Amino acid sequence: MSIYDFKVKAQDGSEVSLSDYKGKVLLIVNTATGCGFTPQYEELQNLYALHQKDGLEILDFPCNQFAEQAPGSDEEIHSFCTGRYGITFPQFSKINVLGVDADPLFKYLSENTTFQGFGKSPLTLVLNGVAKKMDKDFKHNSNIKWNFTKFLISRDGQIIARFEPTSSMKDVKAKVEAIL
């Protein structure tokens, strides 16, 4: 199985095959519009503007499972993201990334990567506390822990890296540029 075996829903409800992205470097992100990490949209857009011509695609999947930080319809979320952050990368229909209703793509991504930890920022204590309330065993499983978890996919559909929301966008950019 590879990333290209999955189909996802576009904002308009139509089905999109990830095989349409063969040969591209993908950064797949679960996002939210009302999260402390929402300003990462600006950095993601900057990365996209810089490297789309080189074959980078950022695939944005809004998710409301973490403290209900992605309220609203797909249209409302898209209007917010384009209006506030000027995003031009593809944004898909809102999904779940955890539990029995988790989107198969995100089940695959989380099952085939490892939780990287939240690092050593002041935010680490807060996120560890929140994650522990949601999942007492959070440090020992690969479930997605919060909004803005990112998965880097090579041109041949292989998972290269997982970045937690606290990962430096400089590190994300460096890894993207290394495989472009």
Per-residue confidence (pLDDT) for residue 103, from 0 to 100? 97
Instruction: Give the mean model confidence (pLDDT) for residues 4-18.
Output: 96
Kindly tell me the burial class for residue 176, based on how many C-beta atoms sit within 10 Å of its own C-beta (0-12, 13-18, 19 or more).
buried
**Sign of torsion, CA 165 49 90 109?**
negative
**Which amino acid is residue 81, in one-letter code?**
C
Per-residue confidence (pLDDT) for residue 1, from 0 to 100? 85
Strand partners, 28: 59, 151
3-state helix, strand, coil in the chain (%, to 5): 40, 20, 45
| % pLDDT > 90, the chain | 82
Q: Quick check: 21 and 58 in contact, CB under 8 A?
A: no
**Sign of torsion, CA 124 105 42 177?**
positive
Query: Band of the pLDDT at 171, cuts 50, 70, 90?
Result: very high
Task: Name the average pLDDT for the chain.
Answer: 94
Structure tokens, 113: 């990567």
Domain ranges of the chain: 3-9+24-179
Per-residue confidence (pLDDT) for residue 129, from 0 to 100? 87
Q: What's the CA gap between 18 and 34, in Å, rounded?
A: 27
**Which of the four CATH numbers 3.40.50.150, 3.40.50.720, 3.40.30.10, 3.10.180.10 does domain 3-9+24-179 have?**
3.40.30.10
Marked catalytic residue, from 16, 26, 29, 35: 35
The closest of 78, 105, 82, 77 to 16, measured between CA atoms, is 105
Q: What's the CA gap between 126 and 71, in Å, rounded?
A: 22
pLDDT in tens, 105-147: 999 999 999 998 998 877 787 888 888 888 888 988 889 999 9
Is residue 90 over pLDDT 90?
yes
35 catalytic per annotation: yes
Per-residue confidence (pLDDT) for residue 53, from 0 to 100? 98
- In which element (H, E) is residue 8 found? strand 7-9
